[in-house]
Copies of this chain bind each other. A is one copy, B any other.
Amino acid sequence: MQAGTQVALRTTEDRPVDALPLVLVVDDDPDIRASLTDMFNSVGMDTLVFASTAELLKHDMPDRPSCLILDLRLPGSSGLDLQARLAEDGVNIPIIFITGYADVPTSVRAMKAGALDFLPKPFREQELLDAVAEALRHDRQRRLNDSERNEVRVLAESLTPREMDVLRGVARGLLNKQIAYELGITEITVKMHRSSAGRKLKSVSVADMVRKVELLSGKSGTAGGGAG
């Protein structure tokens, strides 16, 4: 809780309390922007509207639970383009498409590219609200996972290369002796690196180290043979 000096409702620049959800809207129709803003505000959600994809891209992605409502047809680059662009940039915000010109191949393409929902206009308010609720649920979960991984990543940045070498050995279930042999150093030195790495990662137990190393290295998680 770092509640600062300002009330954080409907502000966009500083970093508000985490729980307040934000809905981003990109639509070229001013009426829709206005009505969606009203609708989401009326249910206690923060909103941020844009008339084009370029406008949204100028903005920083919000650091709180959020989702993106995206019109398919837009001046300049389309909604699908934006979806692709965001994916490239590693932005994982959940996307709900809305469009008046819907056809099956396009909707399928959007869904395959990871969209969470695809609503042809006109739709009932409740449909969109449901979709948004679902999207926010997703985003909250995603942010949880991300923050966990990021915490570890931050801790891991202070590791020296050698400490990382040793950690990988530990995660593979090797004995200090074996790690020492592989690295061409003595067991003592391995212990040194290992305990130092453990301190930096704030892990006391081997179980912890294993999990953290796995989070770092892409979490594939081969539970392969007995390492004996």
Total number of A residues with any Cβ neighbor in B under 8 Å: 39
Which B residues are CB-close (under 8 A) to A223? 148, 152, 208, 211-212, 215
Q: Considering the complex, give the chain B residue whose CB is closest to the CB of A116.
A: B112
Which B residues are CB-close (under 8 A) to A102? 104
Given contact pairs A108-B118, A120-B104, A211 touches B210 in the complex (Cβ within 8 A):
yes
Contact between A173 and B226, CB atoms less than 8 A apart: no
Q: What is the CB-to-nearest-CB distance from A134 to chain B, in angstroms, rounded to a whole number? A: 10
Given contact pairs A105-B120, A108-B107, A111-B111, A204 touches B221 in the complex (Cβ within 8 A):
no
Contact between B117 and A173, CB atoms less than 8 A apart: no
Chain B CB within 8 A of A25 CB? no
Q: Besides A107-B107, A111-B112, 8 other CB < 8 A contacts?
A: A103-B104, A107-B108, A111-B111, A152-B223, A173-B207, A203-B226, A203-B227, A208-B227
Which B residues are CB-close (under 8 A) to A219? 221
Closest 6 CB pairs of A and B: A173-B205, A173-B207, A111-B111, A211-B223, A204-B228, A204-B226
Can you list 6 pairs linking A and B with CB atoms under 8 Å apart? A102-B104, A104-B118, A105-B120, A148-B222, A148-B223, A205-B227
Binding site for B on A (CB under 8 A): 102-105, 107-108, 111-112, 116-118, 120, 148, 152, 170-174, 202-208, 210-212, 214-215, 219, 221-223, 225-228
Given contact pairs A104-B103, A215-B223, A207 touches B111 in the complex (Cβ within 8 A):
no
Which B residues are CB-close (under 8 A) to A152? 223
Contact between A207 and B148, CB atoms less than 8 A apart: no
Q: What is the CB-to-nearest-CB distance from A189 to chain B, in angstroms, rounded to a whole number? A: 21
Contact between B108 and A171, CB atoms less than 8 A apart: no
**CA A173 to CA B212, docked complex, whole Å:** 13
Q: What is the CB-to-nearest-CB distance from A208 to chain B, in angstroms, rounded to a whole number? A: 5
Given contact pairs A104-B107, A118-B104, A222-B148, A173 touches B204 in the complex (Cβ within 8 A):
yes
Q: Considering the complex, give the chain B residue whose CB is closest to the CB of A103.
A: B104
